[in-house]
Amino acid sequence: MAAPKHTNAVPVTLSLTRPAAEVDDAAAERAAQLFKALSDPVRIRLLSLIRRSTGDEACFCDLAPEFDMPQPTLSHHLSVLVKAGILARQRRGTWSWYRLLPEPLHALEALLRPGGPLVDEPGRESRCQ
């Protein structure tokens, strides 16, 4: 039997400092709803396509050819994003037009930015040394 290989130890520092803010129950619930709505690759791709569309809005008729799925399935994904408040939908004749609402994504950004309630700032020293 071969002897186990030894590797160099790497120091690990755990930061036990308090975050800049704590997430209250209402903000946690809202963030969970948004993360759940964004937890599908099709929905992430839809946001990307809508965001780079001319005028920051896209018609269903322009989105559908980008996906190999039935119309009801794509409509369901869009509906989830609308219900979560990430997209706004406007009917124009027989078509629905979608645009991104920035506020929900700004709320998630505030949670995930360095120094926010969920992510330490880079290079932040622990006070417990």
What per-residue confidence (pLDDT) applies to 1?
A: 52
Considering the domain 26-112, what is its CATH architecture?
Orthogonal Bundle (1.10)
Structure tokens at 27: 């903000």
Helix, strand, or coil (residue 111) = helix
What per-residue confidence (pLDDT) applies to 123?
A: 58
Cβ contact 118:112 at 8 Å: yes
What per-residue confidence (pLDDT) applies to 14?
A: 46
What per-residue confidence (pLDDT) applies to 6?
A: 58
- Tell me how many degrees the CA angle 110-33-64 measures, rounded to the nearest 5: 100
Best CA proximity match to 97, nearest among 108, 105, 106, 88: 88
What per-residue confidence (pLDDT) applies to 63?
A: 97
What per-residue confidence (pLDDT) applies to 111?
A: 84
What per-residue confidence (pLDDT) applies to 4?
A: 55
Tell me which residues of the chain have a pLDDT lower than 70.
1-21, 120-129
What per-residue confidence (pLDDT) applies to 101?
A: 95
Residue indicated by tokens 């129950």 = 25
What per-residue confidence (pLDDT) applies to 56?
A: 86
What per-residue confidence (pLDDT) applies to 27?
A: 86
What per-residue confidence (pLDDT) applies to 46?
A: 97
What per-residue confidence (pLDDT) applies to 126?
A: 55
In sequence order, the 6+-apart residues with CB closer than 8 A to the CB of 86 are 34, 37, 38, 47, 100, 101, 104, 105
